[in-house]
Amino acid sequence: MLPSTLGHDSFAPADEAGAFADPLWTRLRGEAGEAFARAPLLAPLFLDSILGQASFEAAVFHRVAARLRNDVVSLWLIVQAFHRAQAADPAIGAALRADIQAVLDHDPACRRIVEPFLYFKGFHAIQAHRLANWLWHHGERDFALYLQSRSSEVFQTDIHPAARFGRGIFLDHATGLVVGATAEIDDDVSLLQNITIGSIGRSAGGRDPRLRRGAMIGAGAKILGSIEVGENARVAASSVVLEAVPPYATVAGVPARVVRRGGPHDPARSVSEILGDLSYVSFDWTI
């Protein structure tokens, strides 16, 4: 809880009328208040990033911009670009909400929403890409490429601004993720660290992979070429995928082969069970 002398309203900006009707925003502010009470030395972080902001979206924009800024491109320039993008395309706000929920749903180490919001570079990297993608398609390609470069430096991800992402994206750890310009990533896709989603040549058109809804890609996997990874498919860690993956199948190996087939009516499995399937120790790499 907050210190007894401070309630939520003590932090609320003057223009925040009705903001507490938003359950996600209410939860984030509550957790930030509790963190403020436990770690007062970090008060500027909680106040500046959350308790002093007017909405969930504004807080996300500010936090990501704070990590991307430098001496040349200011925090406020990036924040203003986020707000321009959000005003033109409200789906950006809906997507970032789905993204943070995906972290809570899929990361067993995450118990508080304040954790991905403040600290997880995977969540921050996908929001930086959402802005870069909007800028890319609205005549601001140099700004988009700057954000790609800066995100690579800060978050260790290299996602081309033209790559298309759905909502509910979970980038676990994020380090080493590379995504090509014509890649398509559908809703509810989970990507672990050190993954390449790219091309094997300079052919015209869609030369990068397409990952369909619910796909989960294990750490170190390489998915190459104009191929499709089907809905709810799984790619095991360190696999090299050069051919299409059927929906609901699990593939593993170098090159990857189908090691498990499933369907939409299979019993639901926990995230830990799925990750167990994607561990390289589960497979015989000599086949």
Per the CB < 8 A criterion, the answer to whether 208 and 165 are in contact is no
pTM tops 0.85: yes
pLDDT band at 262 (very low <50, low <70, confident <90, very high): confident
pLDDT band at 283 (very low <50, low <70, confident <90, very high): very low
**Separation of CA 185 from chain center:** 11
Is the predicted pLDDT of residue 46 greater than 90, yes or no? yes
Q: Are strands 250-252 and 257-260 parallel, antiparallel or unpaired?
A: antiparallel
pLDDT band at 30 (very low <50, low <70, confident <90, very high): very high
pLDDT at position 264 is 73
The per-residue pLDDT of the chain, averaged, comes to: 89
Least confidently predicted of 42-56, 115-129, 264-278: 264-278
What are the tens digits of pLDDT across the range 238-261?
999 999 999 999 999 999 999 998
pLDDT band at 277 (very low <50, low <70, confident <90, very high): low
pLDDT band at 285 (very low <50, low <70, confident <90, very high): very low
What are the tens digits of pLDDT across the range 84-137?
999 999 999 999 999 999 999 999 999 999 999 999 999 999 999 999 999 999
Tokens of 96: 């970032």
pLDDT at position 21 is 85
Domains (ranges, CATH) in the chain? Answer: 180-287 (2.160.10.10)
Judge if the upstream peptide bond of residue 255 is cis by omega within 30 degrees of 0. yes
What are the tens digits of pLDDT across the range 148-163?
999 999 999 999 999 9
pLDDT band at 200 (very low <50, low <70, confident <90, very high): confident
Is the predicted pLDDT of residue 28 greater than 80, yes or no? yes
Report the alpha-carbon distance of residue 80 to residue 61 in Å, rounded: 9
Tokens of 79: 């924040």
Q: What angle do CA 100, 167, 172 make, to 5 degrees?
A: 50
Q: What are phi and psi of 153, to 5 degrees?
A: -70, -40
Tell me how far apart the terminal alpha carbons of the chain are, to the nearest angstrom. Answer: 56
Listing DSSP states for the chain in one string gives ---TT--GGGT--TT-TTGGG-HHHHHHHHHHHHHHHH-GGGHHHHIIIIIT-SSHHHHHHHHHHHHH--SSS-HHHHHHHHHHHHHH-THHHHHHHHHHHHHHHH-TT---THHHHHT-HHHHHHHHHHHHHHHHTTT-HHHHHHHHHHHHHHHSEEE-TT-EE-SS-EESS-TTEEE-TT-EE-TT-EE-SS-EEE-SS--SS--S-EE-TT-EE-TT-EEESS-EE-TT-EE-TT-EE-S-B-TT-EEETTTTEEEE---TTSPP--HHHHHHHTSGGGS-TT-
